[in-house]
Amino acid sequence: MSVSVGDPAPDFTLAGTNDSMHSLGDFAGQPLVLIFYPGDDTPVCTRQLNSYNDGLERFAEVDAQIVGISAQSVSSHDTFSDKHGFGFPLLADVDKEVAGRYGTLGPLGWGDKVVNAWFQGVTSRTAGFNTIDIGAMNETTLLGTSVLMFIGAGPASTSGGIKVTTFAVLACVIWAEVRGERDVNVFRRRLPLSMVRQAIAIALLSVGFVVVASLVLMASDGLALIDALFESTSAFGTVGLSTGVTGSISTLGHLVLVAIMLCGRVGPLTFATAIVLRHRSRLYRHAEERPIIG
């Protein structure tokens, strides 16, 4: 369902901040601005609601009332409103029924959804272009995009990340271990042990770099986990996508992103080797020991 200019506004009754209840009839006879936004405390939504809050005096001049509506709970709205000092109510449309009446759900048709999903899946490998608002994505989509950015594209390309070949080798290692095979065989070819070790080292180093960068962003700038993880993974994959927080983080956060971007571009193993600055072969081997695994 969609609402066109001139159509009667669909009625609603929703619970809101400060233990209040609001319906459309409460605002009869005055201009009403309904703001449907994806989520509390997301970077883009926060900036947009703050911009409305900063202009409350101008809305008051024409006796207009502002009301925000999203699918989060009343308690989430209360925390969000208290944190930013909003001077207008936030209503909880938990089942998204009101959003559906006003036609704010799924504005793209099926064809456009498929095209945008395909484009975002491809561009998150390194290109960094976006056709939809990254900051308005839900956490599930942000996590999925982070995985794609972490893997990256093919080797010998301009992308960052661990590369698809590293991911494929790790998948083959797991499959061989599950099957109880001694060697890792792919398409009737055996992968050398040195390649397996290299793939594991790259993956573990990459996870470590991204986790440390995310922790620094969370500690220094107070970012939420998903925002810090997305920014760190985007930098590691040299993608350039952002939920909108890049410009507001501290100098320390920027330096961390620069470092992890360099690491992702030259390769985590090369980056770590350059830091250690030594490479030597031992002339002896230690006795073998088998610790308990798992």
**E-only strand ranges, 53-188:** 65-70, 90-92, 185-186
Write out the DSSP string of 213-232: HHHHHHHHH---HHHHHHHH
From CA 264, how far away is CA 249, in angstroms rounded?
A: 20
Catalytic residue among 34, 45, 91, 217: 45
- Token pair for 35: 């703001």
> Got the DSSP string for 182-205?
SS-EETTEEPPHHHHHHHHHHHHH
Please give the backbone phi and psi of residue 186, each rounded to the nearest 5 degrees, phi first: -135, 120
Instruction: Dig out the tokens for 217 from the structure.
Output: 């962003």
C-alpha–C-alpha distance, residues 293 and 45, integer Å = 46
Annotation says 45 is catalytic? yes
Three-point CA angle 271, 229, 153, nearest 5°: 55
Q: Which amino acid is at 293?
A: I
Q: Which two tokens stand for residue 37?
A: 């936004």
Cα 270 from Cα 231, distance rounded (Å):
22
Active site residues: 45
